[in-house]
Structure 1
Amino acid sequence: MEKLILTLLAVFTASASAETLLLRGATVHTVAGGTLAPGDVLVRDGKIAEVAAAITAKADRVLDLKGLHLYPGLVSPGTDLGLVEISGVRASVDDRETGDFIPEVESWLAVNPDSELIPVARANGITHFSPIPQGRHIAGTSALLAARGWTIEDMLVRRHTAMHLFWPDHSLSIPGPNPSPNAKSLEEQARERKEKVREIERFFADAEAWAKRPPDSPSVPAWQAMQPVLSGEVPLMIHAQDAREIRAALKWSEGRPGLRVILYGARDAWQLAGELAQRKIPVIYSEVFALPARSSDAYDAHFSAPAILHKAGVTVAISEGLERASASGQRNLPYIAAQAAAFGLPADAALAAITLVPARLHGVDDSLGSIEPGKDASLFAATGDILDIRSQVRHLWISGVEQPLDTRHTRLAEKYRSRPKLE
């Protein structure tokens, strides 16, 4: 019986994606080619077949979207969505493995496809997301998943979108006049930082040496996982926040020009915008709503950071981050971009920072991130500008199949709206 149900579901999904659908009369935000107001989009076999001001081709179904805004699905470039359900319940947290250097780990294998937080994110326009493994140094690879599917295999769009390196903390703990017995001197802290960087350097050197092994050498999963990173096939996403950390990571990467570096987190990256632009290192900025790190920082230092980076010529994507209830807060991704737009980031760049740029950084911009013929029909229709908190998503499609927008939130709201009234 179970096999029959799964077969019927597969047939239904295939037939739904094979349907020719004409989305008519919306304000179409293509991201890559401007805005059509109004415009039509023709979807065939789960792909965008045509985008134009008016489409006359016949379709199996025509949906009038007059008054609505049509966008490409939002892409969350880095999150713990699917890996964390309730951060205070250890059994629902699976965002890291033990060990300092575990490049063979693949985070998507730990994603819970039944997470109640995935529909919540989807209900606000997020169609794809990248679950990031966390750890001490090399934490493993991320993948790109669709925000729908019965299993993780159903959800998987692309494996090995990035290897993740968490750069050692470079913050300073300055001993006071009456330091505790366990307080470390500045010199000792500096030695520990240098040793951690040397550990990273030795690991990369060992991975390079393994590539030159004799042909009959036994397979080592960790070293095998590093080879696409060393060749530049898979990007190395370096997680660093403080300016000292970012500067140290950039200096280290100079000695390995073959690496494709992406900076994640990047709280103080705006201070190094010129170097990042010169070296063409993209930034996934996750600190828009973080408090200023220093008393000397302006109140809007992080609000305006994406604008500073963009103006300098840095490719910028925007993320909710891996802290501050990232999984449950994924629905706020467009509002984080909106805050950056309010502080100088052009509106079109803010929209691209949560659509086309993340798709490009994860190697799927040929199929996601914009509304163009030939791309995947992952779209949503909203009542207004998606960067406006008042806008509501009315329809959402992933690969041409319309997805439900109900969530645990809406089910609870309906439940308590219909409760018996007290007499």
Structure 2
Amino acid sequence: MNKNIYLLFLILSISITAQQVPAKKQSKSILILHGMAHLGNGQVINNSAIGFKDGKITLVADATLIRLAKDAYDLTIDATGKQVYPGFIAPNSTLGLVEIDAVKSSDDESEIGNINPNVRSLIAYNAESKVIETVRPNGILIAQITPRGGRFSGTSSIVQLDAWNWQDAVIKENDGIHLNFPSSFKQTGWWAEPGGTTLNKDYSKQVIEISDFLSNSKAYLADTSKEKNLVFESVKGLFDGNQTLFIHADKELQIIDAIKLAKENGVKKIVIVGGFEAYKAADFLKENNIGVLLRRVHDMPEYDDQDVNLPYKMAKILTDKGILVGLENSGDMERMNTRNLPFLAGTCAAYGLDKEQALQLITSNTAKLLGIDTFCGTLEEGKDATLFISEGDALDMRTNQLTEAYIQGRIISLETHQSQLNKIYKEKYNQK
């Protein structure tokens, strides 16, 4: 049997035998009492009452200041000594787009070609990916599914992480288009053997090509008598404000040039993704009211003369400048490492931010940058009941121990293939 076919068969076999069944719609109202509630907006209620019904939060209050009838909720959970959080959000993620990198037929993260804004990552999203079930036990309950490759990678969508298929999973369809902006310099080598830095002689040409595409798209959309062009049609939301242009750029010049170009071409909403040198352009970002989804902070500085702790301090530097900051986790083994997103925020807390500010990096701030803050990102009445209970501090890998998690009020499974194997072999060897 062909090796790739065998591996794919193995994936499907595991999925069939150990697949977690998505939770059913919430039927009974739930009240979580006496937990320390971190609302995701900087506020904390030490002795909280969090109630939700029909998938929506109906009560967020201090339990010592209210009186509740015994029959106000169908189920009551005593969270004394525990902590309650809004579900964490993973932006710029390829969860569900690749299962095993070595198996080509399980890899749907990129398309052939350079200009692909019409490519919709959502329809390639595999809600049954075994990787997804490994991130939920750490509190990651929402993700922005984002394509890779090319100059315009395609269109992302936002999903909740407990569903049968992409149709059930989607909570915001086609939220943004992703642009990989060229750099004026090219670096050679790799992390173990870094090479030199050379000038990108094609930089001006590449920037002009992006500008031409955007201006041609505007001209096409303004013309009422035309043949259909799916590529130009797909960027309409950038000009009417229904979609965000997510610009993937790290260098200062990249960031400034990209923002100027986008604004000159009438793009309404812009977010920088990566932004390693965003601190150098902080005043420009603040002036233009543009936020940053900061690249993985568990990283090294790029240059010998930079502070070795600069990646850890970046969120603090930008926050102090008044810039809206979220965290993203793209890079090596990014799907598997999505589970470490809370601990990236924890590192930011260790290097300058207070814990509630750090929490906002993966809850309310990210929700605002993705345009979903009207229904998630914080524990507030009227928002989706997407939240979890942890034994301790969810930003600390030692105490991030979830006991219950809910997506839109549905209590979801925190079981994984690994935890199932753990139970099986503990039983086999009669371990407690």
Tell me the TM-score normalised to structure 1 length.
Answer: 0.89
8 Å CA contact retained: 2:296, 2:344? no
Q: Is the 8 A contact 1:270 1:306 kept in 2?
A: no
1:127 aligns with 2:137: no
2:145 equivalent to 1:145: no
Q: Distance in 1 between matches of 2:391 and 2:187?
A: 50
Inter-partner Cα distance in structure 2 for 1:269 and 1:200: 21
Q: Name which of 189, 208, 213 aligns with 1:203.
A: 213
- Counting only pairs closer than 5 Å after superposition, residues 11-410 of structure 1 correspond to structure 2 as 13-14=24-25, 17-32=26-41, 34-54=43-63, 55-57=67-69, 58-172=72-186, 186=199, 189-190=200-201, 192-215=202-225, 217-321=226-330, 323-391=331-399, 392-410=401-419
Q: 2:275, 2:326 → 1: CA distance?
A: 11
| CA distance in 1: counterparts of 2:396 and 2:323, whole angstroms | 25
Amino acid at match of 1:194: S
Counterpart CA distance in 2 for 1:184 and 1:405 is 46
CA offset at residue 108 of structure 1? 1.2
Q: Which has the higher mean CA deviation after the structures are superposed, 292-301 or 52-61? A: 52-61
Using the alignment, how far apart are the partners of 2:419 and 2:187 within structure 1? 46
Please give the secondary structure, in 2, of the residue aligned with 1:302: helix
Shift of 1:257: 4.9
Whether the aligned pair in 2 keeps the contact of 1:25 and 1:39 (CA below 8 Å) is yes
Q: Does the CA-based 8 Å contact 1:103-1:222 persist in structure 2?
A: yes
Q: Which segments of 5 or more consecutive residues in structure 2 lack a partner in the other structure?
A: 1-20, 189-195
| Matching residue's letter, 1:116 | K
- RMSD over equivalenced CA pairs, Å: 2.0
Provide the secondary structure at the position in 2 that maps to 1:418.
helix
Q: Deviations over 1:170-194 (max 9, x none)?
A: 32469xxxxxxxx9984xx32x111
The 2-side partners of 1:61 and 1:200 are apart by 55
| Residues 389, 403 of structure 2: 8 Å contact kept | yes
Which residue does 2:18 correspond to in 1?
none
Inter-partner Cα distance in structure 1 for 2:211 and 2:203: 13
1:400–1:244 distance in 2 versus 1, CA, 3 Å: same
Following superposition, the deviation at residue 236 of structure 1 comes to: 0.4
Query: What is the alpha-carbon distance in structure 1 between the residues aligned to residue 88 and residue 249 of structure 2?
Result: 24
Task: Measure the CA separation in 1 of the matches of 2:92 and 2:313.
Answer: 20
Aligned residues: 397
Contact 2:41–2:356 (Cα < 8 Å) also in 1: no
**In structure 2, how many angstroms separate the alpha carbons of the residues matched to 1:126 and 1:173?**
33
Structure 1: where are the runs of 5+ without partners?
1-8, 175-182
Separation of aligned partners in 1, 2:125 and 2:312: 31
Alpha-carbon separation, structure 2, partners of 1:81 and 1:170: 30
Q: In the TM superposition, what whole-angstrom CA distance separates every residue of 1:19-58 from its partner, at most 9, and x where no partner exists?
A: 1111111111112361111111111111111111225042
Structure 1 stretch 312-321 or stretch 228-237: which is displaced more? 228-237
Please list the CA deviations of residues 231-256 of structure 1 after superposition, one character each: whole Å capped at 9, or x if unmatched: 22211000011233223323323423
Shift in alpha-carbon separation, 1:184–1:297, aligned structure 2, 3 A: closer
Q: Give me the identity figure in percent.
A: 28
Provide Cα deviations, 1:338-363, integer angstroms capped at 9, x if missing partner. 11111112322210110111111222
Which residue identity is paired with 1:331?
Answer: R
Give CA-to-partner distance per residue, 1:97-144, whole Å, 9 cap, x none.
111111111111111111111111111101100011112111111111
By how many angstroms is 1:280 displaced?
Answer: 0.8
CA contact (8 A) 1:263 1:283 kept: yes
The SS at the match of 1:205 is: helix
CA distance in 2, matches of 1:170, 1:33: 39
- 3-state SS of 2:428 partner: coil
TM-score normalised to the size of structure 2? 0.88
Cα distance in 2, alignment partners of residues 46 and 247 from structure 1: 42
